[in-house]
Amino acid sequence: MVRICHIITDLDAGGAERALSTLISHLDPSCFRNEVISLIRPGVFGDDLRRAGIPVISLDLPRGRPTLSGFLKAVNYLRQSRPAILQTWLYHADLFGSFAHYFTPSARLLWNVRCSDIASLPESYQLRWVIGSLARLSRRPDAVIVNSKRGKLFHEKNGYRPRRWIEIPNGVDTQRFRPLPLQRDQLRSSMGIRAKGPVIGLVARYHPMKDHPTFLQAAAKFANDYPGACFVLCGTGCDGQNKNLNRWISQAGLSDHVTLLGTRTDMENIYPAFDLTTLCSAFGEGFPNVLTEAMACGVPCVATDVGACREILEEEWLVVQPRDPDALVRAWKSALAGPTEVLARKARTRACERYGIEQISKLYESLYLDVASRNGEVR
């Protein structure tokens, strides 16, 4: 039995958090025992993991401010737990876990890098400092896992020189995320969608990286030709309380075309209501779960050329340059012009064959067994 302790910043709704939760739930329980340390108070995925019997330890740190008491709590726990592998997720957890590793050197250390040029924001000085510190420490882990080629290149340019790079894409649970064609009208009705035309969804938290303004500019242009179109915004901050977002919607003349869902935990019932899913990010993406989840639901996708989007979608015409609303509109029209059933089947097939969590979990299992065997932990 290989004991793995995962350290992550938090377990709220997010791509890395979902990837961790999905992975843990599909690792072979007869070979691997998992536990999770959350630096700050866990969110929705913490509840999911606990219900599944996975130990979740919260350090309750203030966001962005580590404390000595929290650090000592983590070190004491690791000394008692004695994991064979310490797997960290996201930059702050990579840094925190690397210092904790000095006090539990018998564990093998793995970092998990989840993004590409996330430090592009002007206000991200602290994050750039963290990335620079991690670059200087990047020989310490046994391996650094990346989920996209672009993420690897970005971190190499920023000084990462690990002993070993491992590329493993995110996995999608294709049993949970599946087509629901017979329930489409019912799902739309439950969300208050009364579209007479195409329904295009953007599943993304409200953040400059996700570039909601470009999406809304494209939506306004598209609605001129498709007056019955509906655009669904789903994610943290995409609700009626967001004054900026509501002002942009009003200024674009889209008040009658946009449905705001806010945060949802039942995404398997959201994607199947769409005709198209869009990822509009301007930068920072690694491997967007949104795309493979939508594809597994049989929903075609259009995305900007960030992170692994081009690798995921494969079809060149479905990938456009960031911050180009006209290109988005052209891609939407092209995707809706052809036989959408064919695109839907291709999307589902690609998600299942390339990114199904069963295949991805096997890649992690092989890596964990290989790393643990160097400590003599595999019996």
Model confidence at 14, pLDDT cuts 50, 70, 90, reads confident
**Confidence bin at 76 (pLDDT 50/70/90):** very high
Q: Pick from 60, 82, 57: which is nearest to 3 by CA?
A: 82
Q: How far apart are CA 128 and CA 130, in angstroms?
A: 5
State residue 62's pLDDT score: 84
The domains located in the chain, with CATH, are 2-171+357-373 (3.40.50.2000), 181-355 (3.40.50.2000)
Q: Strand 258-262's sheet: what is its strand order?
A: 258-262, 230-234, 199-203, 276-279, 301-304, 319-320
**SS3 per residue for 355-374:** HEHHHHHHHHHHHHHHHHHC
The pLDDT value recorded for residue 43 is 81
Q: What is the pLDDT of residue 122?
A: 53
Q: H or E element: which one contains 39?
A: none
Q: Is the pLDDT of residue 125 over 80?
A: no
Q: How far is the CA of 274 from the CAs of 4, 193, 230, 374, in angstroms?
A: 38, 10, 9, 48
Nearest to 116 by CA among 167, 175, 43, 172: 167
Q: How does DSSP assign 209-224, residue by residue? A: GG-HHHHHHHHHHHHH
pLDDT tens column, 51-74: 889 999 999 888 877 889 989 999
47: its two tokens: 């509840």
Which of 222, 230, 170 has its CA nearest to residue 195?
230
Amino acid (1-letter code) at residue 49: L
> Given this model, what pLDDT does residue 338 score?
78
Strand ranges (E), the chain: 2-8, 32-38, 56-58, 85-89, 108-113, 143-146, 165-167, 199-203, 230-234, 258-262, 276-279, 301-304, 319-320
379 pLDDT more than 50: no
Which residue type is seen at 3? R
pLDDT tens, 318-362?
Answer: 999 999 999 999 999 999 997 888 999 999 999 999 999 999 999
Q: Which residues contact 250 (CB under 8 A, 6 or more apart)?
A: none
d(CA 263, CA 203): 9
**Could you read off the pLDDT of 260-275 as tens digits, one per residue?**
999 998 999 999 999 9
CA distances from 1 to 55, 227, 318 (A): 16, 59, 44
**Portion of the chain with pLDDT greater than 90, in percent:** 79
Number of alpha carbons in the 13 Å side-chain half-sphere of residue 300: 26
Mean pLDDT for 174-199 is 92
